[in-house]
Every structure is written in C-alpha cells, then in structure tokens.
Amino acid sequence: MKKFRKTKKPNMDGINLLVSILVCYPELGTVSFEPKDESLRLSFAFKGVPSGSEYEEVRNLLAESILAYHALEGFFGAKTNITLEAQGNTSFLHISRDVHTLSRGEIDLITALIREHFGEILIMELANNESSDIELETAQAEVIDHMIGNLKINRVTDRMIGVREEGRVMVFNK
C-alpha cells in the first residue's frame, strides 16, 4: 500500500510579503525570511566590489539611520546585521532585520540610501513600463504594511527566499 505524505500549505502572508517587496523595490535582488530568528534579509547586488572604507562608511550610515528611524518611530532593541559578500567582480550587501521592529518606511529608507551611495554599481531590474502607476504602488505599499504586521503576530515556520529573474519574481521554500 502506498503512503501519501500530507503536504504543508505554504504561508501566503510570507509569500505575498516577499513578492510585494521585490515588486516595489527594484533595487533589491533577493529577499529572504528566516524563521529561526524571525528576520528578513534584504540583499542588494553590485557590479563591482566597494572599497573597504566605502563599505564601512555606508554600513555605519545605514546602522545610524536605522537607529534614528527607530527612535523617531518609538522602537527600541532592533536587531540589525549588515554584511558585504564579494564574489569575483560582483558583490552583495545583505541587511538582516528582525520583523518585529521592521516597517515599510524603514525599507524605503534603506533602499534610498543604497541607491544614493551605490547607484552607479547597483544592479537593478527596471520595469518594462517606466511610467509609475500610483494606485498599484499604493496597493503594494498597503500589502507590505499588512504582511509585516501579520508576521509580527503570526509565527511563520517556513524559510523562504524571493528572487527577481528576467522580469519575474519567484518565491521558494528553502
């Protein structure tokens, strides 16, 4: 007799969050969720490797900006980890944030700082239609706020990674 395994339903809140973040922020190459420490990892890809001093300067600016943002929002005790990974002539800046103190406004801040400091080397996939659809952006922003709120309340057990490839966004369980 053949046994059938019961497949676990994917967590749609987590999937929708990763998709919405990648749709709204073309600066991001990947976004992943780690349930072990309940963190979201935002990864930016660069054509080239920033110098050590340039990386340290931006890392310190990001850390201080995140702390200042949290102070203004009334959040304390946020967990932030910023690392640079070099692979040949490409590098990746990873920013890990705990979901309990993360907000869409903070993601806006982080992506703006990365674009400002690494715009020339930032690998960014532009949308096919350059005109901005304000209604779509507003709807996606609301989805991001809602899904981050859900992750703060409901525990997600799946490790997930969202990637952007050739105009598509895909999410996988790791």
Find how far residue 87's CA is from the centre of its chain: 20
The pLDDT of 101-126, averaged and rounded, is 92
How many residues would you count in the chain? 174
Query: What mean pLDDT is predicted for residues 148-174?
Result: 86
pLDDT tops 60 at residue 56: yes
pLDDT attached to residue 133: 66
Amino acid in position 22? L
Buried b (16+ CB within 10 A) or exposed e, 44-73: bbbeebbeeeebeebbeebeeebeebbeee
HEC string of 104-124 equals HHHHHHHHHHHHHHHCCCECC
Residue 130: its pLDDT value, please? 47
Question: How far from chain centre, in Å, is Cα 38?
Answer: 13
pTM attached to this predicted model: 0.86
**Range of 8-22, 46-60, 67-81, 156-170 with top mean pLDDT:** 46-60
Token readout for 40 is 């979201």
Looking at residue 143, its pLDDT comes to 83
Q: Is the pLDDT of residue 113 over 90?
A: yes
Residue 2 confidence (pLDDT): 59
Cβ count within 10 A of residue 18: 25
Contacts 24+ apart (CB under 8 A), 51-57: 54/117, 55/84, 55/93
48 DSSP assignment: S
Residue 102 has pLDDT above 60, yes or no: yes
pLDDT score at 166: 81
Helices 12-24 and 134-153 pack at an angle, to 10 degrees, of 140
Is it the case that residue 5 has pLDDT exceeding 90?
A: no
Tell me: pLDDT of 139 over 90. no
